[in-house]
Amino acid sequence: MTTDSERLEDFGRLREYLLEQTRACVRPPIDRFRHPWIAPMPLSAAAARYLRHRGAASSLGPVPPQAEVAAKSLGEPSSGDGFAFGDYSLGLFHHDASEAAIELVRHDDLREAAFGSLLCFLDCASPTGAIHRIELPYKAREAEPAKPVMAQFALRTIEALGPAGLERAEQHRVLERIVAFVRHLEQTSFGLHGLFLTHSSRASGFDNDILTAELPDGTVEGPDTNAFMVLEYEAIARLAAALGRDALSREHAERAEALRDRMNRLMWYEDERGGMYVALRWQHGVGSLDAEIVSMRDPDGRLRPLESWVTLLPLHAGVPTPERAEALVRRLCDPEGYWGPCGIRTAPAWDPFFTQGARVLVYDHRKHARGPVSNWMGPVWVLSNYYLAAGLARYGHRERAQTLALRTARLLADDLERTGSLHECYDDTGRGLWPRRGTFVSWNVLALTLLHEHTSGAPAGVEASGVTAA
């Protein structure tokens, strides 16, 4: 493996490729979407035909023959939306758009599409305030709610717009609609431990995460959902303060602190490997909190809490005390567990359920059948690298954060050099696992943010964007 200094010159090429491909992910207003928006990957041929067809059909001119053919093929029930085959190019995904915007708002030509994606979600929300996790131009793909990242999405895009951002926030009633979404979550997803329920592993975005996958929807109070909710309350508090809504700001700052405290009281767990935040599942008549931890029996017959990288995610949200953060970092940085040669493994390598397969099958209660989903029980993802690097830096482990930033950038740069494309997840050898075709962009742009936030010194061609690398 090459050293960090030997690979720095390749990051300039990676930057140009990521930004070029992201520009190819920007879609025009169409159907229900009244603003420019961003998909996770460049257009496939099928998605391009659909856009051409819809644009032609809405005009006064004649419909081109190729659009007629596209309309016929898209009308076949067996054609599907392409998601099962790795074609996400006609979908607006709440978590992809929100987290990619962390980097994209730094670029003048992409900032508007990031804000437009937020507005598309808000415009398509239900009367209850629910924002759906995946929207297609013509319908919500599912009724499942977005995870609590929308206030954070709003805050980062509005702040990036400068003084005009607050005016546009008022114009589009962003704060009111974000608060309505959070109220919806409070009314529908509040568990009996006083923590927030994860709607499902699908809705979490971590499709086969062992804490929730294949359990009934809305039965697990997960550390990821509650960590995001802490950040969501804090984002509302900041946005409300900026808009002069002081009482609303104080209310949500207090809610963030109360939820952080409850997580520490109920979800914290320590063992010989360090610490983590466990998931809870309420059961009638159980008289012990330990009995409600999502667990399994080990070979010795003892209950062992199930874990994955989301049990470490509260580090990103600033939930643990400094002492508990050290226990989390000890668990995170174990090379026999999460700390891999290409970044954070999404499950510890010593776990019997660890796998770095490209895809896995899980049972879908809605369809009464198994189906393929993305694998979050072992592969390395740029998103989890980003969150946990931020958590490491937040608690003073800057060298570890820098190492993780450089490993992430090197992982993508090597993939680009070897295959000419990027993937959504990787194994410990750096091999891209999925999708088989096309290039996955989405939150892979966070590799640039990692370099910017956690390293110093910059490779040639990177200084102009503010991205740095050491």
pLDDT tens, position by position, 126-184: 999 999 999 999 999 989 999 999 999 999 999 999 999 999 999 999 999 999 999 99
Spatial separation of the C-alpha atoms in residues 327 and 306, rounded to whole Å = 17
Q: Which pTM was predicted? A: 0.91
Q: Where are the alpha helices (DSSP H) in 24-160?
A: 45-57, 65-74, 94-104, 108-123, 150-160
Predicted confidence band of residue 9 (pLDDT cuts 50, 70, 90): low
On whether residue 53 sits in a domain, the answer given is no
Helix, strand, or coil (residue 132): strand
Element (H, E) at 360: strand 359-364
Query: Tokens for 33?
Result: 């979407």
Residues facing 277 on adjacent strands: 268
Tens-place pLDDT, residues 277-291: 999 999 999 989 999
On whether residue 399 sits in a domain, the answer given is yes
Average pLDDT, the chain: 89
On whether residue 8 sits in a domain, the answer given is yes
Domain span holding position 413: 1-26+333-345+380-465
**Contact assessment for residue 330 and residue 324, using Cβ atoms and an 8 Å cutoff:** no
Which of 97, 111, 252 minimizes the C-alpha distance to 168? 111
On whether residue 206 sits in a domain, the answer given is no
For residue 324, pLDDT beyond 80: yes
pLDDT number for residue 401: 97
pLDDT number for residue 74: 46
Average pLDDT over residues 298-318: 94
Q: How far is CA 36 from CA 134, 178, 444, in A?
A: 16, 20, 20
For the beta carbon of residue 214, count every other beta carbon within 10 angstroms: 13
On whether residue 15 sits in a domain, the answer given is yes
On whether residue 397 sits in a domain, the answer given is yes
Tell me the percentage of the chain whose pLDDT exceeds 70.
89
pLDDT number for residue 65: 44
On whether residue 110 sits in a domain, the answer given is no
Domains held by the chain: number: 1
Helix, strand, or coil (residue 185): helix
8-12, 347-351, 382-386, 426-430: range with lowest mean pLDDT: 8-12
pLDDT number for residue 77: 42
pLDDT number for residue 97: 97
On whether residue 439 sits in a domain, the answer given is yes
